[in-house]
Amino acid sequence: MEYTIKKISELAGISSRTLRFYDEIKLLKPARINSSGYRIYAQNEVDRLQQILVYRKLGLSLEDIKAIMDNPDFDEIKTLRSHHQALLIQQQQLSKLIDTVEKTLMTKEGSGSMTNIEKFEGLKRERVRKNEDQYGTESRALYGTNQVTDSNQKMLNMNQEKFQAFEELEEAIFVQLKKAMNTKNVSSIESQKLARMHKEWLSYTWTTYSTKAHVGLVNLYLADPRFVSYYDNRVGQGGTQFLKDAVIHFTNK
């Protein structure tokens, strides 16, 4: 079966303008152009569009989607299984978070109660959910689904004391980063203390540590505008770069 651009846009729930843009960037080319100059899409294009829309829902950029799907070694089934597993985890976490919010509302409205343990568990699940929403795709691409899943579970298994220490250390890292930046020297005592603190912070959630993985993470920080904003907004411009350089110096030693 073949579709005009109008029909396939209605089928997929996207605009014809979007499809024309996908054609322009060579993400989704029509099967052919008919004698009247209209784009015509066949089953292969429908299947590819479905994959594109799934990846968009998972938060991937169009550039990343094109690179993935045009890769001759692209394994569609393996990739979809990985994302399916991530979505199931997010579904479980979201379900528990909804339960926490409902209990909180009942408590505030006087129609129920919520223990401190339940409140604490909700905080952990919310943190994991945010990490998954913001960085889950990139983390799985860098470390693999199993590693990220195990890391999430390690956080969820933390007791209240350990989780509090984890969050307090993160705040201390921002303070230390400012001190280190003032030295303007990534090999300074303050800078190397910063790198050690960052390593310790990672140990709370990482199942295993390696200098290679640590360097990979700080490289990801600098390559991703979201991480750059997260650090630079707290300590000033250049904070993310300085953290990366301090960690690389630390791992080289």
Place of tokens 């004391």: 161
Is the torsion defined by CA of 234, 231, 194, 127 positive or negative? positive
Q: Is the pTM of this model over 0.75?
A: no
DSSP 45-90: HHHHHHHHHHHHHTT--HHHHHHHHH-TT--HHHHHHHHHHHHHHH
pLDDT tens, 154-201?
888 888 788 889 889 999 999 999 999 999 999 999 999 999 999 999
pLDDT given at position 46: 92
How does DSSP classify residue 158? Answer: -
Q: What pLDDT does 109 receive? A: 66
Q: Which residues contact 101 (CB under 8 A, 6 or more apart)?
A: 122
Mean pLDDT of all residues in 135-157? 77
Range name among 54-63, 176-185, 190-199, 213-222 with the lowest pLDDT average: 54-63
Model pLDDT for residues 190-212, shown as the tens digit of each residue: 999 999 999 999 999 898 899 99
- 72: pLDDT confidence band, cut at 50, 70 and 90? confident
The predicted structure's pLDDT at residue 152 = 82
Per-residue pLDDT, 161: 81
Tokens of 101: 């919010």
Q: Is the pLDDT of residue 59 over 90?
A: no
Regarding predicted confidence, which is higher, 50 or 195? 195
Query: If we measure between CA atoms, which residue out of 49, 32, 50, 29 comes closest to residue 40?
Result: 32
Q: What is the pLDDT of residue 108?
A: 67
Percent above pLDDT 70 for the chain:
87
Range with the poorest average pLDDT among 3-12, 124-133, 193-202: 124-133
Q: Which residue has the higher pLDDT, 234 or 98?
A: 234
Query: What is the torsion angle, in degrees rounded to the nearest 10, for the CA atoms of residue 126, residue 127, residue 128 and residue 130?
Result: 80
Residue 42 scores a pLDDT above 90:
yes
pLDDT (mean) for 220-234: 87
Query: Is the predicted pLDDT of residue 94 greater than 80, yes or no?
Result: no
pLDDT given at position 7: 92
Distance from C-alpha of 202 to C-alpha of 151, rounded to nearest angstrom: 10
2 by DSSP, 3-state: which?
Answer: coil
What's the average model confidence in pLDDT over 3-20? 91
The size of the chain, in residues, is: 253
Query: Which residue did the predictor score with more confidence, 117 or 195?
Result: 195
